[in-house]
Amino acid sequence: MDKENTKRTTEQLILEAARTVFIRKGLEGARMQEIANEAGINKALLHYYFRSKEKLFNHIFEKALAGMFDVINESIHKEGDVFAFIETFVDHYLSTLKENPFIPNFIFNEINSHPERIHQFSDKARLNFPGYKQMVEKNIKQNKIIAISPEHLLIDMLGMCVFPVLGRPIIEKVFFEDHPAGAENFLYERKQHIISFLKKALQP
C-alpha cells in the first residue's frame, strides 16, 4: 500500500510539474530536465514513470480534454434555455482553458501536422451536438432568440472563448505592455463580456 501511495504521489508530482512547464514553455520548448527540476526529482526517475516528453504531454492533454464537455452536455436538453446554456458553456470552457492554456495551440498544431487525429480529439470532446442543435431550434420556434444557425452560434462561442487564449501574447503586448497584470484581469472580465454580448445579440 505504501509503495502504491508513493507511486501515486510521485506521478502526481511529475504531472503537476510538467503541466507548469508546458504552460510556460509549450510542448516544443519544454525539456525533460526542466520538468524533473520543477518536480524536485532526478531525470532518471522521470523517465522511469514517463519515457518521453510527448507521452507525458499526451497524458496531461488527454486528462484535461477528457470530460471537457461533460458539464456543458448536462445543460443540453430539448426544453433547455439557450441563454442558460451560453452561461454554462462560456463559464466552463474559459475556466478549462485558464487551467489548461496549452489545449488550443496543441490541438491546432496537431491537426495541422496530423489531420487524421481530428477524430481522436472529437471523440474525446464528445459534445452532444444533435441535442444542442435541437435545443437552439426549439428556442427559435418559441421566439426566445432570433433565427440563427446553431453551427454559427457554436463557432461564435468557441471563437470568442479561444482567441483570447491563443492571442494572449498579442493582447499583452498591445494593451498591457506597461502593466502585465492587467491581462489577467482582462481575461477574467472577458467571461462576463461574452455572455452579455451573446445574450443581447440573440434577443428577438
Its pTM stands at 0.72
- 100, 101, 165, 195 from 162: Cα distances, Å: 12, 9, 5, 14
pLDDT of residue 126: 74
Cβ proximity of 110 and 117 under 8 Å: yes
| Residue 7 backbone phi and psi in degrees, to 5 | -60, -45
Sorted by where each starts, the structural domains of the chain and their CATH numbers stand as 2-58 (1.10.10.60), 66-202 (1.10.357.10)
The answer to whether residue 13 scores a pLDDT higher than 80 is yes
User: Which three-class secondary structure state does DSSP give residue 40?
Assistant: coil
Give the model confidence (pLDDT) of 35-83 as tens digits.
Answer: 999 999 999 999 999 988 888 888 877 776 666 677 788 888 878 899 9
d(CA 82, CA 150): 11
The pLDDT-based confidence of 2 (bands split at 50, 70, 90) is: low
Distance in angstroms (rounded) separating the CA atoms of residues 110 and 119: 12
Mean pLDDT on 19-29: 81
Q: Which residues contact 162 (CB under 8 A, 6 or more apart)?
A: 97, 104
Rounded CA-CA distance 183/141 in Å is 40
Give percent of the chain above pLDDT 90.
38
Digit-coded pLDDT (tens) for 136-184: 999 999 999 999 999 999 999 999 998 888 888 888 888 888 887 787 7
Q: Smallest Cα–Cα separation from 80: which of 156, 130, 132?
A: 132
